[in-house]
Amino acid sequence: MTTEPHGVLNADIILKLMRERELIITPILNLEQISGSGVDVRLGTSIIFPKKTYIGSIDITKETIINEKCRYFEKMRLKYHTPFTLHPNQLILGATFEYLSLPKYLHAQILSRSSYGRLGLIVATAVTIHPGYKGVLTLELCNLSDSPITLYPGMPVAQLVFYELSGGSVETNGSYLYSTEAELPGFLYEGSKDRWELRFWGEKEAKDKQENINP
Amino acid sequence: MFKRNKLTFKTVQKSGARHDDLLESFNNIEACIIYSRYIGHTYFIYELTQTLESILKPVLDREKRASLLDKDHNSNIWCFCLSSVDENNITTFANIAHEIGHIIFKKEKDDILIIRDQVLQEKIDTKFTNRALKLLNEYPKEKRLYINSVSTQLLFSLIEETCADVVGSILLGPTFLLSLNEFTWDVIGRKSENIWFIELEKERLNYPSIAFRKKCIKSLINYDSFLKGMKEISSLNKIDEMIDKYLKSETTETDRFLIKYDEELEKYLNNFMSEISDAFLLFAHRVYDYIINKYKKEIEEPDYSKIDDLIKRLSNKIPPNIVNDGTLLGQTANYSEILLSSYLSKIYTFYRSDGMNLEEKIKDLSIINKLTTKAIECTYMQNEYLKEKKKTIK
């Protein structure tokens, strides 16, 4: 894209890329969303609640988690113009209202907006968005304060910042591609690439325990 | 008590909100709508006011019932039932345009029946009546009465269904035809060799045959001109041929007017099938003109360059919610444009023969469905946001 030193893209470059349809963030409801060195994005309607359950812990190394995931999580749709309360220490998965399409030479991060951060609202802990990603972004919304926070779908709770990739373009084949709503972790689905590796560590741990019990 | 349920955003209601826009385009129709999910592959509408009235009758007097149901304003509450099994295939929701037609029919019933009588006068001459009576007299007396009463009832309900199709064609044009085709894919006995179509629950008895309905809609929407327009869709090679294949391939039924109803009745009516079919076609066109004039609706041919733009977005795996107008924000696509671009993309994916295997096709169709649903949500919110912004500026 440029021959200049790589860094965070400013609003002018973001706008230029959007005009050229290299970078797509849709829908942009208001151009004021794009300012400084980032783009404000809104909370969408799709959320996933982790349920309080009597079943033991979420052990992702166990194959059974694939079929049992609905016992741990519940998908819901928020209504527009209707408040939703996020209680202290509560974590939910949400999604951005905007659909993003990144070119293969851009890397992006999704971050909390400072005003919301000061209320104790964290919107994402896994902030990386790989080059070439297409889809809405799943947010990990957590209230770290002692007071409940009222959220509405459409609130501009997060911001995107973009970086140009050094050393050329890369191809993304992530399992979250083309998401249009909040997504559960990939290893809760059949065919997860990480499964054998997860099981390997899990089995190794179990074997070690077994050996400790019966030396 | 019952407000238009615009703001509830379950998948079903995303499209529902846009159906509200369709109904609002009939400027003086006052109707309150709520949406409901129906567990099956069907769409229907019913007057909730009547249902509530009968429920409340034993417990409330007439005045209280009237006040509770807001009868003074003469606006009925309608319940649209949308298919929950189609939530991941939202393009078939276009069939609800037909259900809106039932509201219009109820509203315009008197004038529509006058149109029916005019058409009958033009089409049914003495020669025809004599032939009908002569054939009817060949049946025993009780059978004659049966045939006479059932065929009258049947033709009346066919009139309502034909009107509903007319309104569907006015509201969504080619999209309505493509959607009806998908929805009725299995009614006519074709074994599914498709990958996105769902079977209908059962045959409907009070509808004209699928073949007739499609013929009628094709004639109303000017199908030939639509196919010509498809040549402007540069991103989908030979899409016009594919559409023709999609609409024709399953029509194993001949150009019959009625679907199988009753053997004896069908045998009798078969004698007049071409006359009845012609009369209904003329009737459909007259009702079409009547509704266009009454509601001052302007029927614009779809802007195929816009559709092409939306299809390009879909093929790049972007929701088809914005049409490029040279500005950064772009122009919000309307419901009909989104659904048409989605249908064309699906038909292209289904029929393309460039080495894409079945698994890849299924994956692509599922992505198109997801992106279409997202586009409908986005455009709904874009419009709501713009309306609110205008109010604030004032």
All structural domains of chain A with their residue ranges = 11-213
Given B294, B327, B358, the domain boundary residue is B294
Nearest to B328 among A31, A45, A153 (CB): A31
- Both B105 and B140 in one domain: the answer is yes
The lowest-confidence range among A19-28, B50-59, B245-254 is B245-254
- pLDDT of B320 higher than 90: yes
Cα–Cα dist B47/B68, whole Å: 15
pLDDT computed for residue B201 by the predictor: 40
Residue B3 lies in a domain: no
- pLDDT of B217 higher than 80: yes
- Both B239 and B278 in one domain: the answer is yes
Q: Tell how many helices (H) and how many strands (E) occur in chain B.
A: 15, 5
Name the pLDDT band for B1 (thresholds 50, 70, 90): very low
- pLDDT of B210 higher than 50: yes
Residues of chain B in contact with residue A134, where contact means CB-CB under 8 angstroms, are 317-318
- To the nearest whole percent, how much of chain B has pLDDT over 70? 84
Strand extents, DSSP E, B251-394: 322-323, 331-332
State whether A26 and B329 contact (CB < 8 Å): no
DSSP bridge pairs for A179: A135
- Both B184 and B64 in one domain: the answer is no
- Both B290 and B329 in one domain: the answer is no
Residue B5 lies in a domain: no
Q: Which tops the pLDDT comparison, B121 or B191?
A: B121
- pLDDT of B298 higher than 80: no
Size of interface A-B (CB pairs under 8 A): 64
| 3-class DSSP assignment, residue B144 | helix
| 3-class DSSP assignment, residue A112 | strand
Cα–Cα dist A66/A190, whole Å: 7
pLDDT computed for residue A129 by the predictor: 93
CB A86 within 8 A of CB A149: yes
Complex confidence, ipTM: 0.86
State whether B318 and A77 contact (CB < 8 Å): no
- pLDDT of B357 higher than 50: yes
Can you tell me which residue has the tokens 């949400």? Answer: A94
- Both B106 and B161 in one domain: the answer is yes
Residue B325 lies in a domain: yes
Residue B4 lies in a domain: no
Name the pTM for this structure. Answer: 0.85
Residues of chain A in contact with residue B329, where contact means CB-CB under 8 angstroms, are 28, 31
Asked if A78 reaches chain B (Cβ–Cβ under 8 Å), the answer is: yes
- Both B166 and B283 in one domain: the answer is yes
| 3-class DSSP assignment, residue A98 | coil
Whether a cis peptide bond, with omega within 30° of 0, leads into A27 is yes
pLDDT computed for residue B75 by the predictor: 67
Q: Which tops the pLDDT comparison, B12 or B214?
A: B214
B186 φ/ψ sector (left φ>0, alpha ψ -120 to 50, else beta): alpha
- Both B162 and B80 in one domain: the answer is no
Distance from CA of A96 to the nearest CA of B (A): 12
Asked if B384 reaches chain A (Cβ–Cβ under 8 Å), the answer is: yes
Name the pLDDT band for B76 (thresholds 50, 70, 90): confident
Give the H/E segment covering residue A159: strand A158-164
Cα–Cα dist A131/A101, whole Å: 9
Contacts by B86-90, CB closer than 8 A, 24 or more apart = B86/B41, B86/B198, B87/B11, B87/B12, B88/B11, B88/B366, B88/B369, B88/B370, B88/B373, B89/B196, B89/B198, B89/B369, B90/B11, B90/B14, B90/B15, B90/B369, B90/B372, B90/B373, B90/B376
CB A147 within 8 A of CB A78: no
Name the pLDDT band for B254 (thresholds 50, 70, 90): very low
- pLDDT of B86 higher than 70: yes
Check residue B208 and report its DSSP letter: B
CB B80 within 8 A of CB B35: yes
As averages over each run of 10 residues, the pLDDT of chain A (215 residues) reads 71 94 93 92 91 76 76 84 91 95 95 93 90 95 95 94 87 82 79 62 62 60
Asked if A46 reaches chain B (Cβ–Cβ under 8 Å), the answer is: no
Closest alpha carbon within chain B to A81: B7
- Both B226 and B312 in one domain: the answer is no
Predicted confidence (pLDDT) per residue in B56-67, tens digit: 888 888 888 887
Tell which CATH architecture fits domain A11-213. Answer: Distorted Sandwich (2.70)
- Both B312 and B290 in one domain: the answer is no
Asked if A83 reaches chain B (Cβ–Cβ under 8 Å), the answer is: no
pLDDT computed for residue B126 by the predictor: 79
| B227 phi/psi in degrees, rounded to 5 | -65, -40
Give the H/E segment covering residue A50: strand A46-50
Residue B181 lies in a domain: yes
- To the nearest whole percent, how much of chain A has pLDDT over 90? 53
Catalytic residues of A: 140
Q: How many domains does the structure of chain B reveal?
A: 3
Residue B118 lies in a domain: yes
pLDDT computed for residue B338 by the predictor: 94
CB A103 within 8 A of CB A23: yes
- Both B244 and B147 in one domain: the answer is yes
Residue B281 lies in a domain: yes
Asked if B367 reaches chain A (Cβ–Cβ under 8 Å), the answer is: yes
- pLDDT of B288 higher than 90: yes
Check residue B37 and report its DSSP letter: E
- Both B240 and B176 in one domain: the answer is yes
Name the pLDDT band for B203 (thresholds 50, 70, 90): very low
CB B177 within 8 A of CB B247: yes
Take residue A73 and report the two structure tokens written for it.
Answer: 């999580």
Over residues B7-25, mean pLDDT: 63
For residue B65, the enclosing domain spans 11-87
Closest CA to B160 of B232, B106, B239: B106
Can you tell me which residue has the tokens 């790049």? Answer: B316
- pLDDT of B197 higher than 60: no
Contacts by A75-78, CB closer than 8 A, 24 or more apart = A75/A46, A75/A47, A75/A48, A75/A181, A75/A182, A76/A46, A76/A47, A76/A48, A76/A49, A77/A45, A77/A46, A77/A47, A77/B9, A77/B10, A77/B11, A78/A45, A78/A46, A78/A47, A78/A153, A78/B9
Q: Which tops the pLDDT comparison, A101 or B81?
A: A101
- pLDDT of B291 higher than 70: yes
Residue B1 lies in a domain: no
Distance from CA of B323 to the nearest CA of A (A): 11
Asked if A77 reaches chain B (Cβ–Cβ under 8 Å), the answer is: yes
Cα–Cα dist A111/A41, whole Å: 10
Given B242, B270, B294, the domain boundary residue is B294
Take residue B118 and report the two structure tokens written for it.
Answer: 């005019």
